[in-house]
Structure formats: C-alpha cells, structure tokens
Amino acid sequence: MAASGEQNSPVRGSVPGPVRGSASSISWSATGAVVAPFSQAIGSFVLQFLALRYLGIEGFGAYALLFGVIVVATSIVSGLIGDSLTVLDRSDPAIRAGLQAWLAVTAGGLALTLAVGAWASGRLTGPQSAALGACTAVFLVEDALRRTLMASMRFWSLVVVDITGLVVAVGIVVAVQATAGGATLTTFIVALAVGQAFASVVAVTRLASSDRWVARGVRPDLVAVWKYGSWRAFQQVLRPTMLTGVRVIVTVVVSLAVFGELEAARLYVAPAMLVVGGVASYLFASYARDRITPLGSLRRRADRTVVVLSAATLVLGVVATALVPHLGELFTDDGNGLDQIAVFGWSAYAAATAAVTPYGSLAAVRGRQAAVLAIRAIESFASILLVLVVVTSGGSVVLVPFVLAVAAGVSGLAMRLLLLDTNAVPGPTGELG
C-alpha cells in the first residue's frame, strides 16, 4: 500500500489531527483498553496455574523465571518499537522500514541472547534453549502487533488476539498432559510459542488496512526510531527492574517466606494495577492521536484523569482491604497469610502509579521522553535505596509498598510541575503547547 508523500515529519502519527468521535465510541474504546490487559493477564495466570499443577513447585519456578525474562525482553521492544510506532508517523515508508528493521534486530538479538545464555548457564538443555529463543522471538513480534492495534485504538481486537493465544497454548499443554505421559517444561515453552504465533496471525487480520503493509525499496530511518524509542525502552525496563530489585532485597535480607506473604498481598490487589495499566495504554495512544491539541487542554485532561483514577483505585483498595478476612482464603490456605496493612500498602502504590502514568505519557508524547526517563530512573533508584534502609534497619516489610507509593507519588508531581509547563515545553514538532 502506498503512503502519502505529504507526510514528511517523523513525529506526526498516523492521524494528522484530533479525532473526534461520539461519546459512546470513545467510552467503548476506553472500556476495551481496561479489558484488554485482563485478557492478557488471564492467559498468563492460566498457564502459570497449569505449570504449578503439572510441573510441580520446582518446574513452576523454572517456568515463572523464564516467563519473567521474556517479559523483561518484551518491555524493551514495547518501548523501542511499540511506543515509536504510536508516536512517529508510521505511514511514512522510511519510518515504517525503520520500525521493521529495529523489530527484526531486537527480536532476533534478544531471542539469541536468551537462548545462548540459558544454554550456557546449564539450566536448560539445548532443545529447551532453542525453544526459549523461538518463543522469545515470536512473543516480541506479537507484542509489536499488539501495540499497533493499541495505536489505532483497536483495544477490543486485543481481547480476540489474547484469547486466541490462550486457547491454543492451553490446548497444547492439556493435550500433551493427557496423551504423552505428562507435560514438561519444554511443552510449556513450545505451547507459549505456538499460541503467540496463532495470536500474531489473528492480530494481522485485525489491523487497519493502513497498517497492513511492509515497507520495501526504501532506506529505513533507523535514527528517528532510535532517537525516540530508545528513551522509552529504557523507561519501560525501569519499573520491572526496580520491582525485581525490591524482591531480591526482601528475600535476601528477611526471608523467602516473608517475601511470599508480601507477594500474596500484591497479587490480591493486582486487578487494580491492571486497570491502571489498561488506562495508561489508552492514554498514551489518545495523547498521541491528539498531539496538535494545545498542551494546556491536554494537561487539564491529565489532571482530571489522575484525580479520578487515583481516587477510584484507592477506594477499591480500601474495599479490598476490608474484605481480606473473607477473600484472603482464595490466595492462601486459611487467609491468615494476607496482611491487611500490606494489602492497603499495595493499593496505595497502585493509586500513586495512577498519578504517574498520565503525566509521564503526556510528557513523552510531547517530546520529553528523556526527561521522563530521568525522573523515573531517580524514582527507581530512590525506591530501592529506601526499601533497603527500611528492611535493614529492622522495619516491617509491610512498609515496602508504602515506600514505593511515596516515591511514585513524588515522581508524578515532578512530571506535572517540571515537564508540563505550557510556557516552556515544546511539542513534538517544535510548537509550544
């Protein structure tokens, strides 16, 4: 499909101006943005549950670790490719070719790195390592397709894609378990890869016609994609890296059992975090779509979003905390493993995160991705340092999520005051808000 030769700016997006739709269509899209992360999370949960049932505790731990590594790799591609295709003009053949080239390089490079690393560590056999590499590559390509659907606001299509991947992967695991003498770790890796491959095919069919073409015969603009996407890739990696660091600190300094209790409390409030993540995905795409709207107007929209989303998340957290004695047994044998203070702490962290994401997304779309990265890096470093101080000084680990909430809240305030000044912040094409 040919692209229009009139779109010369590398940062213009697929929609040249604000797209106004009916309130019902916008509401439906926003609802889909909230539902889509749940469909993806359900797939992850079901596979982990089956791994626990079929592989035992050690096999489950191995699968969870490998899946976590794939998620970290995905965050890199999501930032470098996914955010770039949302903000840059992907209808420009040079930009599109650059996106395709970077996807091939990162997906292939990360897949090879993980496969070789797993084999060299001795934790996986050669075939298992090869399967992990293939799974990683397919997973990253599928993520790029998901982000393209997000960029075109096709959130309900994501639900179809996720369900496809889930059904195929679970079907393979259950079939092998029933007919081949029991599923193995390799079974789960292969099932995940095949499921993602089928999901990718469905994702292609759900793309808008303007997104369903490959740039050929043009020099890829690698610099434009790297210039924007590299900052976002680094930013995407920060939060999972920070949380991993916190988990290691609690496990090493205190104990694995206490860490398990803290994680159980976090899992209990995970739905609230998923809602925040879903709204964040919608906001980033909507801010990119409305990039020529004056910054002051978008900032007021972000302010309203922060107030509503944070308040709603906190209220849900209070309710969830009050229901711990009744619902806690769903996460532990008797419900005593869930600490209500820790539950409320993670709820506060979710609410604080809701105050960060709208401002960070808006600032990044308006060309301040480097500054967003700097603030988030400071937040991550401060979070790890404060958690280390708390746990080494004899403080209760239930304070950990509160520490993370304070750091996130300060980060959001800094973005609001420093990066969204209408008198100083240029837009992505150099205009003032």
User: Would 144 be classed as within a structural domain?
Assistant: yes
Same domain for 183 and 318, yes or no, is no
Same domain for 334 and 279, yes or no, is yes
pLDDT at 19: 41
Same domain for 216 and 245, yes or no, is no
Same domain for 128 and 183, yes or no, is yes
With beta carbons less than 8 A apart as the criterion, state whether 131 and 189 touch.
yes
Same domain for 301 and 239, yes or no, is yes
Q: For residues 344 and 350, give the distance between their C-alpha atoms in angstroms, rounded to a whole number.
A: 10
Show which of 171, 186, 220 is a domain's final residue: 220
Same domain for 215 and 234, yes or no, is no
pLDDT at 166: 93
Same domain for 67 and 167, yes or no, is yes
Cα distances (angstroms) measured from residue 310 to each of 27, 206, 382, 417: 19, 33, 22, 18
- Other C-beta atoms closer than 10 Å to the C-beta of 326 total 9
Show which of 198, 220, 242 is a domain's final residue: 220
Same domain for 251 and 385, yes or no, is yes
DSSP 80-137: IIIIHHHHS-TTSHHHHHHHHHHHHHHHHHHHHHHHHHHHHHTSS-HHHHHHHHHHHH
User: Would 6 be classed as within a structural domain?
Assistant: no
Same domain for 262 and 370, yes or no, is yes
Same domain for 326 and 309, yes or no, is yes
Same domain for 293 and 422, yes or no, is yes
pLDDT at 285: 64
Residue with the two structure tokens 């090493």: 252
Domain count, the chain: 2
pTM for the model stands at 0.65
User: Would 3 be classed as within a structural domain?
Assistant: no
User: Would 296 be classed as within a structural domain?
Assistant: yes
User: Would 15 be classed as within a structural domain?
Assistant: no
User: Would 193 be classed as within a structural domain?
Assistant: yes
Same domain for 185 and 257, yes or no, is no
426: which strand partners?
A: 432
User: Would 240 be classed as within a structural domain?
Assistant: yes
pLDDT at 60: 64
Domain span at 419: 228-427
pLDDT at 332: 52
Query: Tens digit of pLDDT per residue, the chain (433 long)?
Result: 333 333 333 344 443 333 444 444 445 555 665 566 667 777 777 787 787 678 775 676 677 778 878 888 888 898 889 888 888 888 888 998 899 999 999 999 999 999 998 899 787 888 999 999 999 999 999 999 998 888 887 878 888 999 999 999 999 999 999 887 788 889 999 999 999 999 999 999 998 887 777 777 788 888 888 888 887 788 777 777 787 777 677 767 777 566 667 766 776 777 667 666 666 666 666 776 666 777 777 788 888 888 888 888 888 888 888 888 877 666 554 445 578 888 899 889 988 888 888 888 788 777 787 788 888 889 989 999 999 998 888 888 888 999 999 999 898 888 888 877 765 444 443 333 3
Show which of 192, 220, 248 is a domain's final residue: 220
User: Would 188 be classed as within a structural domain?
Assistant: yes
Q: Where are the alpha helices (DSSP H) in 183-269?
A: 185-206, 222-253, 256-268
Q: For residues 45 and 284, give the distance between their C-alpha atoms in angstroms, rounded to a whole number.
A: 26
Phi/psi for 426 (5° steps) reads -75, 150
